[in-house]
A = this chain, B = another copy of it.
Amino acid sequence: LAVSKPNNTETLTEEQIIALVGSVSDQKAPGLLKGIGDDAAVLEPGLGKACVTTDLLVEKIHFDLAYTSPGDLGFRAMAANLSDLGGMGAKPAFAFLSLGLPKSPTKDFVEQLLQGLNSLGREHGLVLAGGDTVRSCFVTLNLCLIGYCKGYEPVLRSTAKTGDAICVSGKLGGSRAGLHWLQKGGSPQDTKALKAIAAHLRPMPRVNLGMALAQKNLVNSMMDISDGLATDLARLCRSSLVSAKIRAKDIPMARTTKEIASQAGEDPLNWALTGGEDFELLFTCRSEKLAEIKKLAQRVEPGLAITQVGETQKGGGVFLELPQGETREISLTGFDHFKQEPS
């Protein structure tokens, strides 16, 4: 099929969109026997244990095109999915993209979305190997990623031991702060909010750190933080049959996050615990491994902090020690996609 060259605001047909997707995908990747263009992609066997994850993003629920550019959207969708592979310690390999677009999508929109998605994917060795393109009332984006653990074991969330140090990478609450800033009509160029805006629109998944921790067998359990520390740590505890005690004063937050929260009259701790979409790693390890883990993190992601926020204990639930010394159970304060908003 000869694809005509429309102007960038010309609308695309389905075949043109498929051709665009094909043009950003590398059909000669190792392990990929047949890429885009058939009923299914064909992958070589023997690439290692395969980790498969999928994520659905829907306009108006997960993003608002008023302050999310098509490039940001592609980037964020890819980051969210890569973060899941990072949480297993798997090496990203193949992506399958399902794209629902309203009638008459423009070339600009589709190209920028694919560019945002693919640039981050490629950075992590990922090849767009297949997908589906359909019409929908709202922009809808599903990614299914396959990564491999060759010669080492993926790290599960169900294998924490009691007495483990509970650690997180990076800072928490930044994505929520950036979202708040944008929702309140703050300028996306304002220098004092830049880091929070980037944390929301262009989060960096900790794939390299996750892989390194898994390969070196340094952690007992691991997952990514996508729904907030409170919810995700509760999931880890439930899977591992342990409880967690964490300290509010140790939860790492960026200065920008605190400033935006203070200006909004919000508690930044709440954003760190329940904001979600930080896409940092949450893991548990023997405390004697912490020094080696911090050194490793500096090597694979220079500048990335590793912070111990608490310890696992016998029992169940997540308990937060507040700065005033009081301890509260917070296992059930996480994010629920189906919760009724207060009216």
Contact = CB atoms under 8 A, between A and B. Distances in A.
19 contacts: A13-B339, A14-B336, A38-B223, A39-B84, A39-B88, A40-B147, A40-B154, A43-B50, A45-B45, A52-B129, A52-B130, A54-B142, A56-B99, A58-B100, A58-B135, A58-B136, A61-B134, A62-B134, A103-B340
A42 interface: yes
Nearest to A150: B45
Interface string A314-343: 000000000000000000000011111000
A135 B15 contact: no
Given A42-B50, A84-B39, A58 B137 contact: yes
A52 B50 CA distance: 12
A336 B51 CA distance: 34
A56 B337 contact: no
A97 to B, nearest CB: 8
Interface residues of A, number: 81
Interface string A1-43: 1000000000111110100000000000000011001111111
A123 B83 CA distance: 33
B137 A137 contact: yes
Interface of A: 1, 11-15, 17, 33-34, 37-58, 60-62, 83-85, 87-88, 90, 94, 96-101, 103-105, 129-138, 140, 142, 144-149, 154, 156-158, 223-224, 238-239, 336-340
A101 B47 contact: no
Contacts of A146: 52
A269 to B, nearest CB: 23
Contacts of A140: 56, 58, 100, 136, 140
A98 B142 contact: yes
A33 B49 CA distance: 9
A339 B33 CA distance: 32
Nearest to A131: B54
Contact of A45 (B50, B83, B88, B147): B50
Given A37-B239, A61-B136, A338-B105, A54 B84 contact: no
Taken together, the copies of this chain in the complex come to 2
B147 A144 contact: no
Given A14-B336, A56-B100, 13 more contacts: A15-B336, A38-B239, A39-B85, A40-B145, A42-B88, A45-B48, A45-B49, A53-B96, A54-B132, A62-B134, A132-B142, A137-B138, A140-B140
Nearest to A144: B144
A12 B56 CA distance: 19
Contacts of A135: 58, 61, 337-338
A138 B135 CA distance: 13
Given A11-B338, A13-B339, A39 B53 contact: yes
A84 B40 contact: yes
Contacts of A133: 337
Nearest to A54: B96
